[in-house]
Amino acid sequence: MAKRPLLGLFRDANAAADAGDALKGAGISENDYDFLTDSPYPEGAFGEREEKHRIYLFPFIGALLGLTSGVLLTSMTQFAYPLVTGGKPILSLPPMAVVTYEGTMLGAILFTVLGIMFESRLPKPKLGLYDNRITEGFIGVLVNTEEDQHNQVQELMTQAGAVEVKRET
Amino acid sequence: MQEGRILTPTEVNRDLLRSILDTPRWFWPVVMMLGLVVLAAAIVIGVMINRGLGITNLNRPVVWGFFITNFVFWIGISHAGVMLSAILRLAKAEWRRPATRAAEVLTIFSLMTAMTMPIIHTGRPWRILYWAFPYDFARGIWPNIRTPLIWDPSAILTYLTSSTLFVLIALIPDFAVLRDRTTGITHQVYSMLSLGWQGNARQWKLQIISGILLSALILPVFVSVHSIVSWDFGMAMAVKSWHSTIFAPYFVVGAVHSGVSAVAFVLILLRWAYGWQAYIRHEHIDALGRLLVVVATGWFYFFSMEVIFGIYGREADEIAVRSLQFTQWPVSAWTMVFVITTYFIPVSIWLSRYCRRNLWIMSIACISVNIGMWLERFLIIVPGLANRQVFTFSWNMYAPSIPEIIIVTATFALVAMLMLLFSRAIPLVPLYDIKEGDILKTEIKIGRRTVPAVYRED
């Protein structure tokens, strides 16, 4: 049976954390529920799973690519028009370093931003089950579960103090 | 340091979205007035392109005047964004919260404005493409990467791209708040901009990491930008007073000084214009004032070193420039005004707690710094070129022409107009940052006193 979402809305962070405990107690996998909030709470405030990510790899890859592009751009443009000025070498490292440095940093930053989007799973074409009250301070507990468990999950959330439990229409 | 009461998310949304969801009566008249000034400058620029740079007073030997002074000034202002946002974020300073967004947006608009200055200054703006863009345009000639005038666009474009992305990433959660509070086409626009943001634990974790990671990456760019701008002068061996190794740190500290003062002034204006007394509080302006005492004193140290070491070598050309700056009318009077307005007036004000918490006095101090810092750039650029040098067969002092004054004045109107227009589309105080601050805030009892406390995550 396909899993479908259920959204419980809580006024209070403690009640939302209680709902999380109740869901865990009922055997629902940690990967099947999520807490939606309007601001960042300290990690683990709701007893949620620890999110794994590889965001720190992205700036390194970007920096390497930026560095390579910078070196290629600065060296190849100088070789493309090899005019000796004042007896100085065609390839001059100090000025190359400046443009290469900027290229490296730009690469690192662009890839960090791409990494943030990728790791945050954004952009998301469809918002899915959601409630505008979440950005008014309500805490949403979004549970993905099989339909035959919906009534049980709804009851667990209501007992924990949910103001409303919404289903996908 | 925490004087405000804890606000509910509904109150935060209502207050901070006021600038977007309700238009104050003064808004459009002010925007139109600023727009007229910008339009006047656009016409002058058109005339200048048509007639050539001859309508300015730029001539040998002073070929860099008001435009380049203004370019360095706006680059300096742009340093406030990263200074406040990145350094205070990395230092986990609680008082940064209401100031970061306005500072970052000011960075973007002042950078964009700064970039227009050298383009206008060329007199033939379209040729910038040939000089600066890394493409050979079928002529086999590439930009000369050995010149600081090419390092400049590479640094500024990197900084502009990074700052814009930094702001946009931090805006996603706030766009989601706007998506949920709007209808119709506005709702569709904010839905697109919020990229389907839900606010789950993973998204928030990445959002927090992004703030720290991007701050750490932008900081080295921020230092490089004004260093490279200073090398436009420092690498020029022919102009005596410019060729100095101290220029890079001197320019960076000066930029932070003028930029943070500008941010403090913008925050005071926002507080007054949108009634954000509960968010931009006296404690925040006070903290900025104390920070500025340190920055201003650092700047004064570099300024003194630059002058002392210039004179100490007793080289004739260097002495001649210093003599022009300090003893010859009217440049000596401008130098006096510059030193007093940049350091002595504002620092005397910032040393007093009463003055730091008086917004009128703080505004005067911040404006004073920026008058002084504008003059500082002028007094570095113009006397250096006006000084009689070997193999220079024409010399003259420089006074700006009316077109130059109009264009430079319009840049201030342009930045103000863009900030105002932007405040109609995005909250200039970050909603989620304020809400996070309130979540982490609590009161604890120590003995007979109840004191505010903040939980900090590592």
Q: What percent of chain B has a predicted confidence (pLDDT) above 90?
A: 57
d(CA B97, CA B430): 7
What are the C-alpha distances in Å from B158 to residues A89, A104, B81, B151, B340? Answer: 28, 10, 15, 11, 35
Q: Please check whether residue A153 is in contact with residue A142, taking contact to mean a CB–CB distance below 8 angstroms.
A: no
* B182–A contact, CB cutoff 8 A: no
CA distances to B99, B104, B173, B306, B367 from B266, in Å: 9, 12, 23, 31, 10
Reported as a single tens digit per residue, the pLDDT across B71-105 is: 999 999 998 777 788 888 888 888 888 888 888 99
Cβ within 8 Å, pair A136-B9: yes
Distance between CA B108 and CA B74 in Å, rounded? 10
Cβ separation B176–A135 shorter than 8 A: yes
CA distances from B184 to B102, B172, B189 (A): 28, 19, 9
Do B65 and B57 meet the contact criterion of CB atoms below 8 Å apart?
Answer: yes
Whether residue B2 is predicted with pLDDT greater than 60 in this model: the reply is: no
Confidence (pLDDT) at B1: 47
- What's the half-sphere exposure (Cβ side, CA atoms, 13 Å) at B315? 13
Residue B440 has pLDDT above 90, yes or no: no
A137: closest CA of chain B, how far (Å): 5
Q: What is the mean pLDDT of residues A106-129?
A: 93
CB < 8 Å to B134, chain A: 73, 77
Q: What is the pLDDT of residue B43?
A: 97
Which pLDDT value is given to residue B383? 87
Q: What is the ipTM of this complex?
A: 0.93
pLDDT tens digit sequence for B209-244:
999 999 999 999 999 999 999 999 988 887 878 888
Tens digit of each residue's pLDDT (9 = 90 or more) over A68-93: 999 999 998 888 878 887 888 888 88
Q: Which residues of A touch B201 (CB under 8 A)?
A: 34-35, 43, 46, 48-49, 51
B395 or B95, which is more confident: B95
Residue B60 has pLDDT above 70, yes or no: yes
Range B309-330 average pLDDT: 86
pLDDT for the residue numbered B319: 86
- What is the pLDDT averaged over residues B338-351? 95
Vertex B83 angle, CA B149 and B248, to 5°:
35
Q: Do B145 and A113 touch (CB under 8 A)?
A: no
Supply the pLDDT for residue B88.
83
Q: Choose among B169, B269, B274, B253: nearest CA to B211.
A: B169
Among candidates B136, B151, B440 on the partner chain, residue whose Cβ is nearest the Cβ of A99: B151
Say whether B145 and A74 touch across the interface (CB within 8 A).
yes
- Percent of chain A exceeding pLDDT 70 equals 99
Asked if B29 has any chain A CB less than 8 Å from its own CB, the reply is no
Q: Where are the alpha helices (DSSP H) in B87-243?
A: 88-90, 100-121, 128-132, 148-181, 184-194, 201-234
Exposed (0-12), middle (13-18) or buried (19+): which is B452, by Cβ within 10 Å?
middle
Are the CB atoms for B79 and B107 separated by under 8 Å? yes
- For testing contact with chain A, the best of B177, B202, B223, B457 (most A CBs within 10 A): B202
Separation between Cα atoms, residue A112 and residue A121, nearest integer Å: 14
Facing residues of B450 across strands? B445
- What mean pLDDT value characterizes chain B? 89
Residues 6+ apart with CB under 8 A from B284: B95, B98, B99, B267
The SS3 call for residue A162 is coil
Inter-residue contact B416 to B35 (CB < 8 Å): no
Do A30 and A80 touch, CB atoms closer than 8 A?
no
Residue B28 has pLDDT above 90, yes or no: yes
Q: Is B172 on the interface with A (CB under 8 A)?
A: yes
* Rounded CA Rg of chain B: 23
B138: pLDDT strictly greater than 70:
no
**Cα separation of B148 and B357, whole Å?**
42
Q: What is the residue extent of each domain of chain B?
A: 9-454
Cβ within 8 Å of residue A40, ≥6 positions away: B204, B205, B207, B208, B432, B436
Residue B314: predicted pLDDT: 84
CATH class (in words) of the domain with range B9-454: mainly alpha
Buried b (16+ CB within 10 A) or exposed e, B276-287: bebbbbbbbbbb
The pLDDT-based confidence of B290 (bands split at 50, 70, 90) is: very high
**Structural domains of chain A, with CATH:** 3-49+125-167 (3.30.70.120), 57-119 (no CATH)
Query: Which residues 143-162 of B have a C-beta within 8 angstroms of A?
Result: 143, 145-147, 150-151, 154-155, 157-158, 161-162
